[in-house]
Amino acid sequence: MLSLNEYGFNSFFSEQVTENRYRPARVTAVHKERYEIICEHGNTHARLKTAVYFLGGIELFPTVGDFVLIQYNESGDSIIAKTLRRKTYFSRRDPTPGRDEQAVAANFDTVFIMQSLNFDFNAKRLERYATLAWQSGAQPVIILTKADLMESFDKQLMEAETAAPGVTVAAVSAKTGYGLALLSDYLKPGRTIVFLGSSGVGKSSLLNALYGEEAMEVSDIREDDSRGRHTTTRRQMVMLPCGAMIIDTPGMRELGMWDVSSGLGETFTDVEAYASRCRFSDCRHEFEPGCAVKAAIENGELPAARFKSYVKLKKEAKYSDNKSAALRERQHVHKAIARQNRQHKRRKMI
Ligand code: GDP
Ligand code: ZN
C-alpha cells in the first residue's frame, strides 16, 4: 500500500481525521464533476457526496492539492465526504452566486513565481505576486525563465530582488538546465510547489526539465464536455522523481488580487520601515509634516514608483477587504434567517 505521507499528508491533516470510516486522499486533478485522487490504493477517481456538498452547502469544494476524506470504492468512483482544512491556498472570486471565493490550488509549501526574461519581465507584477504568495502562507521564490535567450540579466535580477525583498530570485533555463540546481532546496520529498505565471513563460518546460523527461503524461480520464465530445485533460499535480510535487493548473493564470492586505507588509518592508518613522502614526504620506516616507522619496532613498505601487496595492486590498466583509455580513444575515425558520418550524411541530 502506498503511504499518503509521501504526498505531504502530515499531522496537520491527520489530526483532522476523527472518523475512521473514511480514508484520506489527495486531489490531483479537478474536472467538471469528477476528481482524480491519490489514496493508499493508488490513483483513482472520485465524486462529491451530494448530501454534504450540495444539500448542506457549507463544505468547501475540493481543489487541486486538497486533502479529502473518501469512502473508497474499489469498482467505481470513490465518494468524497469532506475537505480537510487547508494549510495554504490560492483563491479567486467565484462566479457562482452565493459563493464568494473559489480555491484554485491548496496545501503547497512554495510558490514559484515565474516570468520569462525575454519578454515577460515586469517588476510591478512580481511585487503583486509576491504579496499574493506571502498572503497564502507559503514561501515565494522568483524564477526568471529562458536565461539562455539573454546575454545578460543582472539588471532584472537586481530589479526582482528590490521588488520582493527577502525572496530568493533564480534565473534558469529549461533548455540548457542552467540554474536548475538552485531549486533543489525546494524540491524535497513530500513538499508541494505551485507554479504561478502567465501562459508561455515556460511552466511546462520547467516541469519537464525537472522531471528529466516528458512528464506531461496525458491523464487517462475522458469526460464528456457539454457538446458531447470527448476531452482529455492532463493531471494538474505531478510527482517528480525526487519526491516533490508540482501543481500547475490553468486556474492559477486567472488569479486576481483577492485579499492581499496581510501579505503587503512582507513585500513592502522597505516602505513600511520608513512609514514607521513618520511623526504621526496615522500619516497618509501626503502633506503631513514630519513624513519620513516623503523625505525618503525626496532624497532618493525610496523610489517614487515603489511607493506608488504600495499605495495602489493598499487601495485594492482595502477594497477587497471591504468586499469580503460585506459578503460575510450577508452570510450572517442568511444564517440568522435560516435559524429563525428552523425555530419557527419546530414550534409548529410541537
Ligand atoms: P507555459 O505556457 O508556461 O507552460 O510555457 P511552455 O513551457 O509551453 O513554453 C512556452 C514556449 O517557450 C515554448 O515554445 C518553449 O519551447 C519555450 N521555452 C520554455 N522554456 C524555455 C527556455 O528555457 N529557453 C528557451 N529558449 N525557450 C523556452
Ligand atoms: Zn508619512
Identify the pLDDT of residue 206. 94
Picking from 241-250, 315-324, 327-336, which range would have the lowest pLDDT averaged per residue? 327-336
Identify the pLDDT of residue 185. 94
Dump pLDDT digits (tens) for 271-296. 888 999 999 988 999 889 999 999 99
The CATH fold assigned to 106-253 is Rossmann fold (3.40.50)
What's the pLDDT band for 213 if we cut at 50, 70, 90? low
The DSSP code for 232 is: E
Specify burial of residue 254 (Cβ count, 10 A radius: 0-12, 13-18, 19+): exposed
Identify the pLDDT of residue 183. 95
Which atom of ligand 1 lies at the shortest distance from residue 195's CA? 3
What's the pLDDT band for 269 if we cut at 50, 70, 90? confident
Provide, rounded to the nearest whole percent, the portion of the chain with pLDDT above 90: 53
Does residue 207 line the site of ligand 1, with CB under 6 A?
no
Q: Who wins on pLDDT, 263 or 110?
A: 110
Is residue 137 within 8 Å of 12, Cβ to Cβ?
no
What's the pLDDT band for 143 if we cut at 50, 70, 90? very high
Distance 272 CA to ligand 2 centre (A): 10
Spell out the residues 6+ positions from residue 87 whose beta carbon is closer than 8 angstroms to its own. Answer: 12, 13, 106, 107, 137
Distance 201 CA to ligand 1 centre (A): 6
CATH architecture of the domain with range 4-85: Beta Barrel (2.40)
One fold for both 4-85 and 106-253?
no
| Widest Cα–Cα separation across the chain | 82
Nearest of 90, 97, 106 to residue 13 by alpha carbon: 106
Best-predicted range by mean pLDDT among 252-261, 266-275, 279-288?
A: 279-288
pLDDT > 60? residue 344: no
Rounded Cα distance, 138 and 346, in Å = 46
Does residue 149 line the site of ligand 1, with CB under 6 A?
yes
Does residue 174 line the site of ligand 1, with CB under 6 A?
yes
Domain ranges of the chain: 4-85, 106-253
Distance 295 CA to ligand 2 centre (A): 9
Does residue 204 line the site of ligand 1, with CB under 6 A?
yes
Q: Who wins on pLDDT, 314 or 155?
A: 155
Q: What does the pLDDT average to over 171-188?
A: 95
Identify the pLDDT of residue 135. 87
Whole-number mean pLDDT of the chain?
83
Mutate to test the pocket of ligand 1, among 118, 205, 236, 246 (most ligand atoms within 8 A of CB): 205
Does residue 205 line the site of ligand 1, with CB under 6 A?
yes
DSSP H/E element including 110: strand 110-116
Dump pLDDT digits (tens) for 85-96. 999 999 877 666
pLDDT > 50? residue 126: yes
Residue nearest to atom 18 of ligand 1 (CA): 202
Q: What does the pLDDT average to over 59-69?
A: 92
Distance 193 CA to ligand 2 centre (A): 38
The DSSP code for 78 is: E
Ligand with the closest atom to the CA of 148: 1
Identify the pLDDT of residue 181. 94
Q: What does the pLDDT average to over 62-69?
A: 96
Distance 220 CA to ligand 2 centre (A): 58
Dump pLDDT digits (tens) for 151-163. 999 999 999 999 9
Best-predicted range by mean pLDDT among 157-171, 200-214, 247-261?
A: 157-171
pLDDT > 70? residue 140: yes
Q: What does the pLDDT average to over 71-96?
A: 89
Residue nearest to atom 5 of ligand 1 (CA): 202
Q: Who wins on pLDDT, 335 or 218?
A: 335
Rounded Cα distance, 162 and 166, in Å = 9
Provide, rounded to the nearest whole percent, the portion of the chain with pLDDT above 70: 77
Could you tell me the sign of the dihedral formed by the alpha carbons of 197, 201, 202, 204, in that order? positive
Nearest of 99, 112, 163 to residue 310 by alpha carbon: 163
Nearest of 253, 261, 252, 263 to residue 323 by alpha carbon: 261
Rounded Cα distance, 138 and 243, in Å = 19
Does residue 202 line the site of ligand 1, with CB under 6 A?
yes
Does residue 114 line the site of ligand 1, with CB under 6 A?
no
